[in-house]
Every structure is written in C-alpha cells, then in structure tokens.
Amino acid sequence: MREETKKRIGEIIEEAIAAGVTAGVSVLFIENGEEVHFDVHGMADKENGIPLRRDHIHRIFSMTKPITATAAMILMERGVLDFGTPVHEILPGFEGNTLIAADGSRVPSPTEMTVLHLLNMTSGLSYGGLDSEAEKATVRLLIDCSRKMRTPEEVGTVPFAIKLGQLPLCFEPDSNWQYSLSADVLGAVIETVSGKRFGDFLRDEIFAPLHMEDTGFFVPEEKQDRLAECYHSTNTTEMRHFTSDNLMIRYDMKGRPAFESGGAGLCSTIDDYARFAHMLLNRGELDGVRILKPATVDYFTSGDLTPAQQAGLRRRFGLGGFTYQHLMRQMREPGSYAGPTREREYGWDSWTGCYFACMPMDNALMVLMEQKAECGTIPMTRKIRNVWLTDSYS
C-alpha cells in the first residue's frame, strides 16, 4: 500500500470525526498474509478524554452473525447438523409455524422452516417493526424479554428462540428475504445440538484455537477499561453518548448474559476479528490451526438467493451486485456495486459500524471498528475501501 494511500485513509477518518459522523475509528488491512496498514483516530471515551487504541474492545453486533454461521458449518462438516432439518425437530415451539391471513386469522405455513432458512435470512422471521402483525408481535416479545434483563427471570438463548417460534411468520419460509432474528435462533440450534452453551461452543471451537482472547458475550471486569463507548450522531458536529441496551444486548457488557445472541451479542477487538476473517480467507486455517475444511469454506462463501429473495435484500440494504448467503453478503456482479470490488468478495457490517471485507481473489482483507449507534456501512467506510481497492490492485 502506497504511503499516499495510507495518508488519505487517515484523512477520510479525520474528516468524518470532525464532521461529527463518528467518534473514533481503527482500520486494519492484511494482504498476502501480512499486515500492510493499521490506523486509528479519535476517541474511545470522549467524556473522559480517552483516545481510541488498537486494543480497545468493541460491541460488534451483527458481525457476530458470520461467527455464528461458522459454528454451524463446524457442526455440519462433522455430520452433527443437517441444514435441511426442519427447525421444529430441534427446537420446540417451531412446530406448525403459522402465517397471518388477510382476515387476520393464523393459518399453517405451507413450507417448514429449516436450518438453511435461518442461515440465509429466508426463514420468515423479522427483527420486529410496525409493517405487519407478525412484526408487531416480535416487538412485543423483545420488549417483554428486555424488561427481564438483569433479573432472575432473564430469558436465555434457547427459551427466547422457543418463544419466538410460537409467533406468526412474516412470510412463508423460502419465499422472500428479510433481515431478522434468524441468527439468534441458529445460536439456539447450535446450543441444542452441540450440548454446550452457545458461548462455550464458540470459545472452545473458534475463539480459543484462534487466540481470540478478547472476544465473547461479555467483557470481564479486568478488561472493562478497554471497552469503547458508543455514540450517536446529532444535527451538529457533536456526538451524543449512547448507553442504551439494544436487542437484549447489555450496553455495559458486564457479566455473562443468559441470552447469548447469535445475531448481535459479541464484543471483540480489531485484531481478534482480523484473525477470524483471516482464517476464512485462508480457507479455514490460520497459523497451523484448522477451524474449517477448505471444502466447507468454499460452500460457506458461495450460493445465491432466488430472484424473489434478492428483491427483499435489495429493498432492505441495496447492496448492488451482492447476494446474501450463510449470514454474509457475497459479491456476484462486481459491476453493479457503487464502487470497486472483486468477484467472490464477502463480509458483513454491524449496527455500530464495524465492518469487514475479504477479497479471496486478491488474498486481502479489511477490518474496521467504530462505535456509532444505528450505523451500518456509512460513506466513510465506502470511501476507505474505495481508496484501498484502487491503490492496491491497480
């Protein structure tokens, strides 16, 4: 990576911080197995004047999803989990999933929800909303379970999934695509078939072998001073401190939660997540440790949505040129994206702006960490990847 490219990446981040778009950003690039650039700007804690550092821990929200999918792939390649299995055969509560008919009555879904539907967000579940009675029912469940957080009645991973399974679906499984709590149900599936708590399975099978020492569903007391604060944009250049729980995820990340969210619950550092992404880029292996077989990674990073499902993805995220499979975006038509990319690119982002992209055709990856509420992929992130991609592979 050229020095002028590194300089411009830093300028893009500083411009975003000055405009009140984000409080602090770190970004890491790895090419051909070697780190080629790391940069960090801004604050981890504006109120206490603490600059963001490389070792700060971030709430990664939806970048939990590819890790959950990896756990499912481990069980699949061992012959423990069959993705074609109806969910109700693993989790009670999903028997006889229903839809809401035009007259408001609940009718049986013609198609059973399978584990594959969870992996591809084609399950009929939602994250809640006001567009349908099914979405409203999900909102009520989330509110009810959130009220029980930090109490003896706190709802666990499997009990939450069972409650969710009793609600009506937004659509018949496989007929559409909708971003949803599918990954949370998948976490409950993994917990059930593995016989371990979901977090224990992730620790034993992924985090410990990859030496991801700062990744988990809570931040121990001795590491709490490394947990970055989260901020929300305002109408000015000043950002507002954001300290609310979200999707049953504790903001303070103190103490192991009963609910270990497969869709949003993990915290990690930029180096930990880069090790995970690098393992995928290496087709399942890193530093002599194999997490997945090469054929499994090939399957993991391939596939397509149907035209009807693709329309659902386009309505929700746009993502021109990308399809969605196995809890990740996956590039299929590079010329349709709003910027440079590569065939077979894959990755995901998060509600807090964390982001990763793997480019297997070029043996390269990018990981970005920030703590900005209700963020996703913002123009700053796209500008950074544009500068990177037009520099490194010209």
**Model pTM score:** 0.97
Specify whether the CB–CB gap between 374 and 243 falls below 8 A.
no
Last residue within a domain, chosen from 155, 173, 195? 195
Q: Cα angle vertex 268, ends 328, 191, to 5°?
A: 65
Last residue of a domain, one of 144, 160, 195: 195
Per-residue pLDDT of the chain (394 residues; tens, 9 = 90+): 999 999 999 999 999 999 999 999 999 999 999 999 999 999 999 999 999 999 999 999 999 999 999 999 999 999 999 999 999 999 999 999 999 998 889 999 999 999 999 999 999 999 999 999 999 999 999 999 999 999 999 999 999 999 999 999 999 999 999 999 999 999 999 999 999 999 999 999 999 999 999 999 999 999 999 999 999 999 889 999 999 999 999 999 999 999 999 999 999 999 999 999 999 999 999 999 999 999 999 999 999 999 999 999 998 888 999 999 999 999 999 999 999 999 999 999 999 999 999 999 999 999 999 999 999 999 999 999 999 999 855 4
Domain end (from 173, 195, 217): 195
Radius of gyration of the chain (CA): 20
Task: Report angle CA 213, 72, 323 to the nearest 5 degrees.
Answer: 105
Q: Which helix (H) or strand (E) holds 290?
A: strand 289-290
| Whether residue 222 is found in the same domain as residue 184 | no
3-state SS, 354-373, equals CEEEEECCCCEEEEEECCEC
Instruction: Read off the CATH number of the domain in which 240 is found.
Output: 3.40.710.10
Other Cβ atoms less than 10 A from the Cβ of 111: the count is 18
The residues pairing with 356 across neighbouring beta strands, listed in sequence order, are: 348, 367
Residues 76 and 191 in one domain: yes
Within 13 Å and on the Cβ side, how many CA atoms surround 151?
Answer: 10
Domain containing residue 360: 3-66+200-392
Residue partners of 3: CB distance under 8 A and separation at least 6 = none
Question: Does 262 share its domain with 349?
Answer: yes
